[in-house]
Amino acid sequence: QSVLTQPPSVSAAPGQKVTISCSGSSSNIGNNYVSWYQHLPGTAPKLLIYENNKRPSGIPDRFSGSKSGTSATLGITGLQTGDEADYYCGTWDSSLSAGVFGGGTKLTVL
Amino acid sequence: QVQLVESGGGVVQPGGSPRLSCAASGFSFSNHGMHWVRQAPGKGLEWVAFIWYDGSNKYYADSVKGRFTISRDNSKNTLFLQMNSLRPEDTAVYYCAKDPHYYSSGTFDSWGQGTLVTVSS
C-alpha cells in the first residue's frame, strides 16, 4: 500500500481533459510540496510539476498542478496519444523522514 | 545538461551484496542531495534512500533500512548504493535521481536511465 493514494487508471479521448488525484495526510502533502512525474516503460521518469504547480522548462502548459490541504491534482488538457503513460505524485513525508509516491495512475488516451 | 548514469546491476544470488554507482555530470554535484528510487516488475515507483549534499544526513525506506547504505564521493561526482542481504523482493530497476536542493524536498528533477538488479538463485 502506497502512502499517497492515486486512482489506478484514467482515460479520455484525444483533445479532452483529464485530472489525476493524489491524496495524502498532514505529514506529507499537507506540509510539503508535491511533484508529479510521467513514466513511460523502459525510460527514465520525467518531472512534470514541482512545488505543487510549477512546470520545469520544456513542459507544455497543457500540464498543470494544484494542491488543497492534503490532496493534490494533476491536470492534462488537449490530450494526445503521446500522453499515454503512468503518472506518479510524490513528496516528502516529515513523520517518516522518507520520500513517498502514489501508486501510479495509468492514463489511456482512447 | 544533467546526466546521471547508473551501473552495477545484474543477476545476484539471494544474500548477495552488489554496489550500484551513479556517475553525475552537467551540474554541481556537491551542492545537491541525491536519491535512489526503484521500480519492481509490474509495480510502481518506490523511494529507497536519500543523502544530503555533503553526506552528513542519510534517510532510508523501512524496506531497506539496515541492509542498504547510500554514500557519495563528491570528488568523483559519484553516488553509491551498497546493497547487502539481498532478497528476491529487491528485484527492481534502480534509478538515481537528483534533488533540486541540498536537503530532501521530495522532488526528483533529473533521473538516470536505471540499472536492473535481479535477485535470483
Q: Which residue of B has its CA nearest to A5?
A: B44
pLDDT above 90: residue A34: yes
CB pair distance less than 8 Å for B60 and A98: yes
CB pair distance less than 8 Å for A101 and B105: no
Q: Which residue of B has its CA nearest to A96?
A: B61
Q: What is the mean pLDDT of chain B?
A: 97
What pLDDT does residue A95 have?
96
For A97-100, which contacts have Cβ atoms below 8 Å and span 24 or more sequence positions? A97/B59, A98/B47, A98/B59, A98/B60, A98/B61, A98/B62, A99/B35, A99/B37, A99/B47, A99/B50, A99/B59, A99/B61, A99/B104, A99/B106, A100/A2, A100/A3, A100/A4, A100/A24, A100/A28, A100/B47, A100/B106
pLDDT above 90: residue A1: no
To test the contact with chain A by mutation, choose from B37, B57, B108 the residue with the greatest count of A C-beta atoms within 10 A, namely B108
**pLDDT tens digit string along B64-75?**
999 999 999 999
**pLDDT tens digit string along B20-61?**
999 999 999 999 999 999 999 999 999 999 999 999 999 999
Mean of pLDDT values over B86-109: 95
Going by pLDDT thresholds of 50, 70 and 90, the confidence category of residue A69 is very high
pLDDT above 90: residue A42: no
